[in-house]
Amino acid sequence: MRYFGVIGSPIHHSLSPLIHNFLFSYLGISAHYDKFDIPSPSLLASTLQSLSGANITLPYKEEVFGLCDEVRGFAQEVEAVNTVLCRNQKLCGFNTDGLGFWECIKNLELKTALVLGAGGSARAIAMMLKKQGVDTMIYNRTPSKVDFFLSRGIGVLETLEVKEVDLLVHTTSVGLDGKSLPYQQEKLQSLVSKAKYVFDVIYPSQKGIVGIDQFRDFFLSRPKTAFLGLSSQGMDGLEMLLYQAFFAFEIFCDGQYCFEELKALFYNSLK
């Protein structure tokens, strides 16, 4: 039996165990995936080394980047890790957030984007948008966190004011409680009204989702996040969660299963 998990704090809302355990079970893989609420960065290394692999969420994606013995692919560019393999006590880091996000919005016609926040998810999203030729800016209230973006040619807004933008993306942790907004509501409402498309990395959650049947009902009738409540239409982060999980599952299984195969398998179970 191999053991995997999602590491962060808070972590109670995460649906990652349901996704991975469904795939392990369906494919007959002897493995189990759990949640690990880690209150202190000092516990990260020992927790990671006790597992075969893990996903990393708020607030540790940048911290884990520095703990890895090796970092591959896109994670090197964004200096943030959301997927880790542990072999022979060596940690190898990857980032599937950028690909998971792009799968959600790749069919939109985009020239400009504004990303709210400057953490690990914001790095992956902004860098992926830039790689795809989208003129991308970020806004964050903590000046010390914007240096990464400036050094990579991503512009930084000093105030929450734009004339218009094709895509507005919210990546801060504010809103995990289901009701809070990251900035003053009137300013956000004005900003949302100037965007063609709105994306919230946060996804709604609820207690009692323990199987694929409960997930199916929730997936089809889930409420809006607080941020998306400001928009007449928009996309939450639940499908991004699924897509990045499928890419991570590829890594956990050494490429034995591909993204499209895993996506089809999981979505067919929701019908």
**Annotated catalytic sites, by residue?**
61
Coil, helix or strand at residue 115: strand
Q: Of 161, 163, 138, 135, whose CA–CA distance to 150 is shortest?
A: 138
Token digits of residue 149: 């973006």
Instruction: Estimate to the nearest angstrom the gap between the alpha carbon of 74 and the chain centroid.
Output: 14
d(CA 182, CA 20) in angstroms, rounded, equals: 30
What is the strand order of the sheet 155-156 is part of?
155-156, 135-139, 112-116, 165-170, 195-200
Are the C-beta atoms of residues 169 and 127 closer than 8 Å to each other? Answer: no
Are the C-beta atoms of residues 44 and 67 closer than 8 Å to each other? Answer: yes
Are the C-beta atoms of residues 55 and 70 closer than 8 Å to each other? Answer: no
d(CA 20, CA 253) in angstroms, rounded, equals: 11
